[in-house]
Structure 1
Amino acid sequence: MRNQTAVSPGALDGVRVLDLTAYVAGPYATRLMADMGAEIIKVEPPSGDYMRSGVPRRGGKGTYFAQVNAGKKSVAIDLTKPEGIDLFFRLLDISDVVIENYRPGVMQRYGLDYATLRNRKPDIIYCSVSGYGQEGPASGLSAYAPIIHAASGWELSKKSYEPALEKPMRNNDATADFMGATHAMGAICAALFRRERTGEGERLDIAMMDVMHSVLAFEYQEAQFPPKRGRPSFIPVATKDGFILVVPLSLKNYDDLLAAIGHPEWKEKYPLNTQGHFKAWEGLMAGLEEWAADYTAIEAEAIISAGGCPVTRFLTMEESMNQPQVAYRGAQVEMRDDVGPFKVPNTPMRTTNSESRLRPEIAEIGQHNEEILRDMLKLADTEIDALYAQKVLHKKP
């Protein structure tokens, strides 16, 4: 494993974030900020983030929750009570960023909308992450990532790559959430940079629908200018015991591929730089699969890779996690809770002159109530005890 030696704190050291998010898009955005040194205060309802018990779980605890909420502090405040709102305002006074991913309108009902918070703290950076955005005819609709996958055109685009499919594929991933999270994190960092120059806060509105349209660049343009035959797809190639994916994207890649598999004559048989590109591509894929049938996936990958053409085996997640490259980069971290150890990905953002890493601590519900209220807000123990008695503050028994 390669060691990373940081010469200074994380790039976001000294930034304090009030995190009012749950599920994926918001929590992952703030997890990335925690990786870069920001102090994240997760403001949870009395029952805690509902993903704490989400699958997969061991002993009633979700390891997914831990992965996207690592390195954060937790306070559990009942925001339906006036005293809870007052506590939030006092935290706001000493914070830099507020992020939330409620359905549009919910924060306003709590009295925690941007206009209200800006009146109290004009330089606050306030980020909302939602399915369709804060305004417009669809803004009030409930939306999780699979809904946005279907509504953004992504799912039918994927179906178009597989003509034999009679209906869209099953949808069980959170791509729109994670893409929304990374865009939110980038927007927040840009707003912090701007505030350093202007002293002004910012209102950030991240819609997962916008994000998906932004990243589906080819599909977005092809919807306006349909190609006559479509783009050739990179097709899984069957081997003796699995599949490989070969991507001869450039003509040099193509030459390297044909030389590696011993068929340089295919360049004339399947010319990829002509008007018949699409038909030639289909022929190439069929020929490649016939060639690969004599090899295992590992053998076929090694032969093509040695020739310089991009190629990989299709790996299970377990196989991918155990690749030597993952270990070399320190791309995996062991976390531990009271049930036992488990592995999570380290931060994907590597830096040279500042620290960036996953902080493996997992906060229990309300674990940092006293620390934050006593040390940051300077509340006396008697005041904190009263808030517990009034059921404004909560923590895991």
Structure 2
Amino acid sequence: MYTIDHIIQLLQAYLKGEILPNEHAELSMLFEKYPELQDLAKKLEDPANLREELQAYEEFSTSDPAQEQRILSNIMDKIEAQVDQQPKRRWMQYGWYAAAACFIAVVGLGIWQINKRDGIDTSDPATPVDAVKLAENLLPGGNRATLQLADGASIGLDQQQVGIVMGDEITYTDGSVALATAKDEKRMMILSTPRGGQYQIALADGTKVWLNADTRLRYPNKFTDKQRVVELDGEAYFEVAKVAGKPFIVVTAKEKVEVLGTHFNVYSFPKEKESKVSLLEGKVKVSVPAGKTRLLQPGEQASVQGEELSVQQVPVDESIAWKNDEFMFNNEPLGTALAQVARWYDIDIEIDPSVAKMKLWGSVSRLDNFDKVLKIIKMTDDKIKVQIEGRRVRLMK
């Protein structure tokens, strides 16, 4: 595969008319492999055609160089895989704009300099400026959670802390005391995050759990039975501590996940049709009420829809991107992708039928305001229009 740095240098030289004789053959090979890039390169030589594409790169660019490098690499990997498999038919699934986005991304610095030199207007009529400004005011979520005790009492947990640790006392991760508990009784508790919230917990057996937004974890303050059972509604990442003879079981409304010691992610919201279990390390057994059971290996994901249980290979880093403060979308249906976004920003997103079939791809930090997510959406389809009223967002064409 071509390296990002080398592609940048080669195509920048082409745009500026400074390509060396010994680079012509290599450039020809690149254009032969990606003919859409050659067509776009010719278009961009005309300043009149540059205006529209320039805005795409400006929106794509990020202040985090490491994140931008990951995004560029993901884009080139995706395009190379699609072209290798079925060059013409599969490419059209991403459309001309995907080629434009890729090209603008890899030659962005050179184009940016042209923009600065010539004073090109980068305004975009598709999304009104006031909508972009309003999106800047939609802030990301943070460390917010509530702990419900066995007697029904609830306490709001410190938002300056990232999580709690179960023991004789419930402490925050920095060691400060959150709540004194009874040492000799098993008590069921519920740790819940709101929309726009996330939190961590270290259970009594040493298992670590990361809760995503709008998620509930029901668990005992100590594990005294032969099985360690917790109940989950929402999304959580588990790093299960190994305890000989005591399997760890996660029960959701749609499936049951049994493990001895492993790392995995569970995405199971009661109101969504599909539930997913993604395995990073170890082995897990996934079963559904209808009786179907599958054993997962690392790199596999179980998908549950109704009574159907299927397993496929997936890039598991995408499944846990949220835990690492990122959104990663890999040709993901717009509705599914924006359900995650809506929970994190605590907003309501309405998707017009005209864009409902759109697939989203790209990566953006969950620490950024909503306008950065909006730019990723625009990168996928620049004709999408956005209306924002309070915390309600509508996407349409």
Report which of the two has the higher share of helix: 1
Report which of the two has the higher share of strand: 2
- Computing the radius of gyration from Cα coordinates, the structure with the larger value is 1
TM-score normalised by length of structure 1: 0.26
* Structure having greater relative contact order (Cα 8 Å, sep ≥ 6): 1
